[in-house]
Structure 1
Amino acid sequence: MKYKMMRKVSKVLIVIFLVLIILLLTIFTAGGAFVKEKYLEPWGKSYSDKFEDKRIKLISNGILAASGHNMQPWVIRLDQDKNVFYLYANSDLLTTEVDPFARQTMITQGTFLEYVVVSGEHLGYKVSIDFFPKGQYDEQNLDSSMKEKPVAKVTISESKNKDSKLYDFMFFPDTNREIYKKTNLAKEQEDTLINLSNEDVKITVLDDGNSLKKLGAYAMKGAEIEANIHRMNEESAKVFRVNEYEKNKYRYGYSFEGQNITGLKKYLMQGIITLIASINSEKASSDIYINSTKTAVENTPAYGMVITKNNSRIEQVKSGMIYSSLVLNAHALGLVMQPLSQVLEEYPEMKDQYVNFHKDYANKGETIQMLFRIGKPTKEVPQTMRRDVMDFINK
């Protein structure tokens, strides 16, 4: 009798085990755990080798640059002169709620250009940039003006030098949202970053206790304001890629990796939300965002800012170039960075924070283009989605 009971219990346990296995397989399959990550292909160092056109080689490295909200808003038009291409801002990929004046989009044009410059140095090319060669935007008709007027004319010429100490770091993730070590930056590290400043763009680094507390409070307030505005959450939700299938289809925007969720946990959450979409509520997403910002702020040894004399379109682009240079040099120094620029966004609900922040940290007339945290990483982070380089080429 006892033996029969044990056999019955064993059969029940086996059935439960098999059901759990089937359930997990269903969840992981829905999340795309067994799907090839095509959206990561541009990160391969050999990716650019398959293109004969030197312009496309450089562009294929340029698209690895940081972009606001990972929108990758770049359009490339190849000139008949095989040494020239034009960079346009993609007005179809503007995030108009969070970035109503397209300032972040212009910064993103600069991040791309700097990666092209560094790539050229590595491959033995000099990259010359002519900003807004067909004139400035008509700000009253920005969408159409972006389609008509390039941000930059890029000219490539042979160079005797073929070396770049920063090239390899282009293949590192540009943003690390994880906990940073408590150790302060060395003076040599700070000096290296600050010395990237030029006559158009200034870099400051702050790491004293009062600054960390005050800047952390600004970062938190900015995140809380943005997280509690419905239209901002709607805009973000439209470009959130819930599983590997969507990532391979769109290859830009947000994903769970951006919320510090990786590994098996990522596939599990992707699968559950794919199968039960209602779980991914606006409040849940907002809470994750605020909590991750809080963790970041509590584990930051230093902050940096990119500041321009005014706020012209050219200055915005140049600040993006400086930011890419900061990212690459930070990697070379064993450091990582994360933008925390919500307090610099320019919509009505953020106005008071924006004004107060500039009163505290900018001289009269100056514009703070970016606020970011810097430190030594405690954890590696995954690379983010990138579209195929040919998707950027306007044919």
Structure 2
Amino acid sequence: MSKRTVKKTMTIILSCFGALLIIAFASLFIISGIFESPKYMEPWQKTYSQKFNDLRIRLVSHGVLAANGHNMQPWKIRLDKDDPMVFYLYADSDLLTKEVDPFARQMMITQGTFLEYVNIAGDQLGYNTAVELFPEGGYDEQKLLESMKTKPVAKITLTKGKPQSSPLYDFMFLSDTNRAAYQSTKLIPEQVKQLENINGDVNRSIKIFQDKETMDKLGSYAMKGAVIEAGVNRVMQESENIFRTNEHQKNKYRYGFSVEGQGTSGIMRHLMQGLVTLFPSMNSGKASSELFIKSTRTSVDNTPAYAMIITDDNSRISQVKSGMFYSRLILEAHRMGFAMQPLSQVLEEYPEMKELYSSIHRDYASGGGTIQMLVRLGKPTKEASRSMRRDVMELIVKE
């Protein structure tokens, strides 16, 4: 065979290979749903609330942006039929992640994050929001899921006031969680004081840690918690069940996890979505566990500070108020140029985590209090992608 023939043959082979490669990539983009409009992102638009005439729904459309456990957005809203200035917040027990949150503590914190976003939006729109927690009494803990369906977490009463431009309002439209590496820059004393003074409640405290000894210790707790969780099949399966692999699924469910949460964006997001849709094993079983541990290690190794929210007791009211404080902490941190990420595994209350849970409480809440939140804090190295959000009207209970 002549050199010319060989060269021509190689050119044909390379052309065919290139064509196949293009077809393969195009197929992944199509499977990912690249041509499907991301309706799940609509609530992040600042004009989204203006679609609704009912003031209460406008406020709820801000609340849905709040931080929430496993991005389940477990909120239900009942509009008062007689008073257009009153609505009720319920915890949606159908969206409880019962394996990692068997006692619904994280779910109650999630109710609080929602309420604080509503408060801030109310100020911005010119309405005072009076929040009454558990207006019809506390839950029957022996029949918890049933009780959640019948008893509201809060009654919210609105009164007309004057619009107050909140310095935190614009930061509600940023992602609440950033899993990327953080810069090594530590907080200055004034910043620590500002964040620790957010709570304004003697029964609850926010603590910031930056010294090397504590950083190493908390980093160790975070890693041990991640390793334990990665080894509990039913817990990992729960996370896999709410993972949305492509644009179609994200538009259908609008809650749960997606590749954005792993720090993937742009073209790579669609490539990964296409691959995971074709090969689900990439995000399940051993592969998922290893990725989770690796991600936690990256977080721990690139964290200049940790923050905790600690309460004197573990009542439902304290849990909800912790969520309200957490929203304030996130937004104040954003205003100061910091990002946050919960490292909640060590605080979860399933049996396999019991020993580690008890240990961290002996170290940091020895007086009998409860650590409601443990988060990493620092200057982000890159902007975080915003996660899926539900259509606000899905939250409204139809009576």
Deviations 1:286-337 (A, max 9, x none): 1111001001001111100001110100000000000000000000000110
| Residue 28 of structure 1: aligned partner | 29
Deviation at 1:19, TM superposition (A): 1.0
| Residue 89 of structure 1: aligned partner | 91
> 1:40 is matched by which residue type in structure 2?
M
SS of aligned partner of 2:130 = strand
Deviation at 1:161, TM superposition (A): 4.0
- Aligned residue runs from structure 1 range 46-195, under 5 A: 46-80=47-81, 81-195=83-197
Deviation at 1:258, TM superposition (A): 1.4
> 1:232 is matched by which residue type in structure 2?
V
Deviation at 1:136, TM superposition (A): 0.4
| Residue 359 of structure 1: aligned partner | 362
> 2:374 is matched by which residue type in structure 1?
L
| Residue 278 of structure 1: aligned partner | 281
Deviations 1:327-378 (A, max 9, x none): 0000000011000011111111111111110110014221110100110011
| Coordinate RMSD, CA, aligned | 1.1
Deviation at 1:278, TM superposition (A): 3.2
Distance in 1 between residues matched to 2:325 and 2:366, nearest whole Å: 19
Scaled by the length of structure 1, the TM-score of the pair is: 0.98
Decide whether the 8 Å contact of 1:176 with 1:336 is kept in 2: yes
- Select between 94-103 and 15-24 the one with higher mean Cα deviation: 15-24
1:16 aligns with 2:7: no
SS of aligned partner of 1:351 = helix
Distance in 1 between residues matched to 2:97 and 2:51, nearest whole Å: 33
Deviations 1:146-165 (A, max 9, x none): 00000000011111242211
SS of aligned partner of 2:389 = coil
User: Which residue of 216, 222, 242 corresponds with 1:213?
Assistant: 216
| Residue 259 of structure 2: aligned partner | 256
**Structure 1 alignment gaps of length 5 or more:** none
| Residue 38 of structure 1: aligned partner | 39
Decide whether the 8 Å contact of 2:240 with 2:283 is kept in 1: no
Distance in 2 between residues matched to 1:278 and 1:203, nearest whole Å: 40
Distance in 1 between residues matched to 2:159 and 2:171, nearest whole Å: 23
SS of aligned partner of 2:184 = coil
- Aligned residue runs from structure 1 range 242-391, under 5 A: 242-391=245-394
| Residue 7 of structure 1: aligned partner | 8
> 1:265 is matched by which residue type in structure 2?
M
SS of aligned partner of 1:369 = strand
Distance in 2 between residues matched to 1:12 and 1:158, nearest whole Å: 73
Decide whether the 8 Å contact of 1:259 with 1:289 is kept in 2: no
Deviation at 1:188, TM superposition (A): 1.6
| Residue 232 of structure 1: aligned partner | 235
> 1:30 is matched by which residue type in structure 2?
I
- Select between 368-377 and 26-35 the one with higher mean Cα deviation: 26-35
- Select between 141-150 and 253-262 the one with higher mean Cα deviation: 253-262
> 2:114 is matched by which residue type in structure 1?
F
> 1:19 is matched by which residue type in structure 2?
L
Distance in 1 between residues matched to 2:330 and 2:185, nearest whole Å: 19
Aligned length: 395
Decide whether the 8 Å contact of 2:72 with 2:256 is kept in 1: yes
> 2:329 is matched by which residue type in structure 1?
L
SS of aligned partner of 1:288 = helix
Decide whether the 8 Å contact of 1:201 with 1:322 is kept in 2: no
Deviations 1:134-177 (A, max 9, x none): 01000000011000000000011111242211000000000001
Decide whether the 8 Å contact of 2:281 with 2:287 is kept in 1: no
- Select between 183-192 and 164-173 the one with higher mean Cα deviation: 183-192
SS of aligned partner of 1:296 = helix
Decide whether the 8 Å contact of 1:259 with 1:288 is kept in 2: no
Deviation at 1:265, TM superposition (A): 2.1
Distance in 2 between residues matched to 1:36 and 1:25, nearest whole Å: 18
Distance in 2 between residues matched to 1:162 and 1:330, nearest whole Å: 20
Deviation at 1:12, TM superposition (A): 2.2
Distance in 2 between residues matched to 1:358 and 1:2, nearest whole Å: 75
Distance in 1 between residues matched to 2:65 and 2:326, nearest whole Å: 14
Deviation at 1:243, TM superposition (A): 1.1
Deviation at 1:4, TM superposition (A): 4.2
**Percent of aligned positions with the same letter in both sequences?**
57
SS of aligned partner of 2:314 = coil
